[in-house]
Amino acid sequence: MIKKELLTARMRGYALTGYGREVAELTDSEKFKVLSKALMEELLPKWRESLVKFDGHKKAYYLSAEFLMGRALSNNLLNLEVQGEVKSILKELGIDYNALEEAEDDAGLGNGGLGRLAACFLDSAATLNYSLTGYGIRYNYGIFRQTFVDGRQVEEGDDWLRDGDTWSIRRADQRVKVVFKDQTVYAVPYDTPIVGFGGGTINTLRLWQSEALQPFDFQAFNDQKYDRAVKEKNDAENISKVLYPNDSLEKGKILRLKQQYFFVSASLQDMIRKHKENHKDFKDFAKLHAVQLNDTHPAVAIPELIRLLGEEGVSFKKAFALATETFAYTNHTILKEALEQWSVKLYKKILPEVYKVIVKIDNHLRKELVQKGLSTEEIEEFEIIHSGNIRMAWLSIYGTHSINGVARLHTDILKDTELHGWYELYPQRFNNKTNGITQRRWLLESNPELSAFITKLLGSDDWITDLEELKKLKKYAEDDEIIKEFMAIKKTKKRQLADYLKVREGIAVDENAIFDIQIKRLHEYKRQLLNAFHILYLYHKIKENPQMEITPRVFLFGAKAAPGYVRAKAIIRFINAIGKMVNEDADVRGRLKVVFVENYGVSYAQRLFPAADISEQISTAGKEASGTGNMKFMLSGAPTIGTFDGANVEIVEEAGLSNNYIFGLTVEEIEELKGHYNPAKELKKNPALKKVVDSLIDGTFEEVVSPEFQELHDALLLGASWHAPDNYFIIRDFQAYVEAQERVAQDFTKPLEFYRKGFINMASAGKFSSDRTIEEYAREIWKIESIDTPRKARRIV
């Protein structure tokens, strides 16, 4: 319960001391800050109590280069179950809560599914009363703020910390030194509370900021060498400056390597310091600490822990055993060639002491493989140090006790093909943990209308902490009146999104059209280009027959391309070129509309997912490890149009093939097709598609063909030095995709039946809660226990 008098007094105090004005005189951004500071006062005692209750128990730690948290205000208030009270208090003060919510910046700490998964896991662990600490980097700038200029992506600095971060606490008293060969810096922790639903557990996200030992050289300044006076400060701060700095040059690679080692070393030093406060030796270290490596970015943790334990007098043999018992590795990448590697030269240059430990680990592996009877040639396949590179995935497999994939299909591919040799060596280490999402943010917060509807039908809000409760809704699937209520909610969310797009993007869309949405990181294998080709195909059909009947559609895209990913940026420009042509043509007005939203992020996603009629999950089969956007769409009541890839397979198992739109080549069919596939030959069979592909180079969009569009065209028909033509089978899958989209359009003309599919998808989404995933990690990998009874559900009378 929040006391009105106390909250308002705290807000007034922060307004006066921070801005010299009364609350009513502040801007929305300033009001948000004084409110969040006031709420932090409410949180702090509970946070401290929560941390204390886990003393003496085994704890888990999540090492991740990304934590894509989203806005904290509504999430914290909902999880504390006081949002209604706070809204009421603010209303009495004449403050618009929604304006304060919009004033909060998304924390610039991630880019895609990897970081959002980490955020969901932290939420679920706190809700289920497990001790899980997140460790990462406090980036001063996110990956970038995206704008479009003439259809091209332009990157600007995402200065999300320009006015500070009211949800974090600087803990300078717990800073540590991180030592590189050419540089030593302080890692200063900033702690953010992670509030579990019901407020019974508040865990910590600890993010490290890099700072100089000597931020200012007075003597250099006095000698009028001004740049040198602040060089150490600038060099130190660069380490935590930007998420995923461009590494096309060696200095960029060095910065990335320093980032990885920086947060890993700081985090392990932090764990060791806390361990030494209560234990005189390290024999029980693995019994008290479970560390999950979120992909290979933190893989250097394995040799670093061994190095740090060596400094404490632990032998290499014992330290290696402790490391393997402590660490577990989540693989997010299917293909061997995409797995992270670092050059030996770079490691020797920046981390020579760590490299020495990696050599010892590699030698240890070789001895073990000799004992297993492997030949010299066979051992080469498993070498951690190979051809002048350090294979970080190999290090992660050998130096941990658990390797998990993130969807059943993904794990099977790892075991059967991509990591088959390792699986044969250590079959007991491999396991699957299908990803999940937190229903607190992606349903309760994002879609209060649907949340209230679910609670009404179920008669309680148990689903907030037990998403499997949604299965009970399936009995209503044939009730047309219930489906009509569901349709009305979807219409409301579409209207809300349409209003937002009008303000944010300056584009009007028809809320009665199909909202066909593809929002995810821009990458070739995710096949945004296939979606774009289909839009252009529909456009050509209308131009050829202006009187044709067509189900109106709004195609919505949201994605960022990595700054150095030229081909991905060309795809963005191509989609925007199609959008300009379609949106300005009177012949297609009211039938087709294309919107590529700028600067897609978590907060934008919370508006897009609930409004979707159809979920685009069209990656090439065998390329997407899992996906979590597919789960958010499903929970929002949208059928999937997609391939049998990643978690799509399990989504279809839960909701039924007839309630989704599956098309395209399977993993097995692609394997059979390799070496026999000729996209140019395929194109000759399909003149409509050829016309679409030719538009890249025939002057449709520009008189002088740009090199980027030419390169896109050539990649499809000629390939490149590093891949075969049409490496992601866009041309081969196009017709099947068109036919699946035609089924969508036809079904949409029968609203009750179409939205019944969406309702069944929503009612079948229980498996895909991150609560289930975290329970599996906790029970099967981390071996940690939940402390306290989960919050009781409220019965609705």
676-680: Cβ within 8 A, 24+ apart: 677/724, 677/725, 677/726, 677/729, 677/732, 678/725, 679/716, 679/717, 679/725, 679/726, 679/731, 679/732, 680/717, 680/725
SS3 177: strand
Using the Cα atoms of residue 664, residue 668, residue 672 and residue 677 in order, give the sign of their dihedral: positive
Q: Which is catalytic among the residues 87, 307, 410, 521? A: 521
CA distance 73 to 311: 43
- Residue 520 is among the residues annotated as catalytic for this protein: yes
Instruction: Report whether 241 contacts 228 (CB < 8 A).
Output: no
Q: Which is catalytic among the residues 526, 553, 569, 593? A: 526
Cα angle for residues 699, 704, 706 (degrees, 5° grid): 95
Q: Which is catalytic among the residues 330, 628, 640, 643? A: 628
The tokens of 471 are what? Answer: 């299965």
- Residue 526 is among the residues annotated as catalytic for this protein: yes
Question: How far is CA 763 from its chain centroid?
Answer: 24
Residue 242: count of CB within 10 angstroms of its CB: 21
CA distance 757 to 747: 10
- Residue 628 is among the residues annotated as catalytic for this protein: yes
Instruction: Report whether 320 contacts 88 (CB < 8 A).
Output: no
Residue 557 has, within 13 A of its CA and on its CB side, a CA count of: 26
Q: Which is catalytic among the residues 37, 145, 206, 332? A: 332
Q: Which is catalytic among the residues 632, 757, 767, 791? A: 632
Q: Which is catalytic among the residues 145, 429, 490, 520? A: 520
- Residue 700 is among the residues annotated as catalytic for this protein: no
- In terms of phi and psi (left: phi > 0; alpha: psi -120 to 50; beta: otherwise), the region of 604 is alpha
Tokens 């974090």, located at residue: 168
Q: How far is CA 680 from CA 526, 677, 685, 686, 716, in A?
A: 21, 9, 9, 10, 8
Cα angle for residues 350, 352, 356 (degrees, 5° grid): 150
The tokens of 247 are what? Answer: 């590494």
The arrangement of strands across the sheet holding 341-343 comes to 341-343, 389-391, 385-386
Using the Cα atoms of residue 191, residue 196, residue 197 and residue 200 in order, give the sign of their dihedral: negative
Q: Active-site positions?
A: 332, 520-521, 526, 628, 632
